[in-house]
Amino acid sequence: MTLQNNWSLTPIVLGNVDYLPTYEAMQAFTAARTTETPDQLWLCEHPSIYTQGLAGRAEHIFNAGQIPVVQTNRGGQVTYHGPGQVVAYPLLDLKRAGYFIKEYVYRIEEAVIRTLLHFGVTGHRVAGAPGIYVRLDDPGSHAVLAQRPKKIEQQPMKKDVIPDDVVVIPDDVVVIPGLTRDPWIADQVCNDNSKAQLKHNFVPADHHANPNFTDLGKIAALGIKVSRNCTYHGVALNVAMDLEPYTRINPCGYAGLRAVDLSTIGVSAAWQEVADVLGQKLASYLAP
């Protein structure tokens, strides 16, 4: 029986652990794994820390104060980790799982949405802004957001016929897998052969849209790294935190974006309870 059809992702709860050793352990695990290495899912929380992604800009941190700032190799901008936040690190072989980055991200977000639903909260996606958001005035509302991601039919196109609703991936910047240039994903660059095959692919134009965060709060942030088709970094879900450190940064690089947690919107839940539900949902939705 192969690892793929005997797939099981039992969460490993690390508890409260320092960020830097955990980051280094993810790198070491990913560098050492083979095609036979079982996937893992780590759940933890970290002492207060700001982490910068590869796209991170110093001006998005106003006043770090005594909170350390760590540069990482994940995609995205600055975010905050601290006590009362469930951080999930899926360490998956995407080639073995059988899906690309775009679907991987969708599955992670869906697991977070289902976790929030368990606690009576409706999570939303916002076009062009990865992560999960909630309505501040009515966290349980199922009303669809106007700025939700919209699917665009991708039809075969001649090289010189480009519709208005798509943007071309430049020939000199192509990444794999998943045909994506999303800045919150850090991935491998194609070699010349792969680049030649992908050079005329397209992505939806709303990838570059200006997100509208009116009346919304961000409750879960996402940033990932893919190396040799294997993932690390992951998603952080806010449970019951001191949210003041978020006011010292532009969360995920967005000025004025408000960060919230479950306790802010009236949900009283223990860290372990939320970790257990998120771990179960990730194990389910990341299955091949």
- For the domain that residue 247 is a member of, what is the CATH number? 3.30.930.10
- 50 is a domain residue: yes
Q: Dihedrals φ, ψ of 22, to 5°?
A: -70, -45
Per-residue pLDDT at 165 exceeds 70: no
Exposure on the CB side of residue 254, measured as CA atoms within 13 A: 23
Ranking 87-91, 105-109, 186-190, 253-257 by mean pLDDT, the lowest is: 186-190
Q: Dihedrals φ, ψ of 168, to 5°?
A: -85, 135
CA distance 129 to 221: 10
User: Which residues have C-beta within 8 Å of that of residue 135, sequence separation ≥ 6?
Assistant: 122, 124, 141, 143, 215, 216
Write down the pLDDT at residue 57.
Answer: 85
Ranking 37-41, 128-132, 168-172, 283-287 by mean pLDDT, the lowest is: 168-172
User: Which residues have C-beta within 8 Å of that of residue 65, sequence separation ≥ 6?
Assistant: 248
Nearest of 136, 90, 88, 93 to residue 115 by alpha carbon: 88
Q: What's the structural domain count of the chain?
A: 1
Tokens of 134: 């909630």
Residue 40 CB neighbours (<10 A): 17
Write down the pLDDT at residue 186.
Answer: 61
| Separation of first and last alpha carbons in the chain | 15
Are 104 and 182 spatial neighbours (Cβ–Cβ below 8 Å)? no
- 237 is a domain residue: yes
Write down the pLDDT at residue 251.
Answer: 87
Average pLDDT, integer, range 169-186: 38
- 243 is a domain residue: yes
- 180 is a domain residue: no
- 173 is a domain residue: no
Write down the pLDDT at residue 185.
Answer: 62
Question: For all residues of the chain together, what is the average pLDDT?
Answer: 81
Write down the pLDDT at residue 147.
Answer: 74
- 247 is a domain residue: yes
- 251 is a domain residue: yes
- 3 is a domain residue: no
Residue 56: domain span:
11-144+214-285
Catalytic (active-site) positions: 252
Write down the pLDDT at residue 159.
Answer: 34
User: Which residues have C-beta within 8 Å of that of residue 270, sequence separation ≥ 6?
Assistant: none
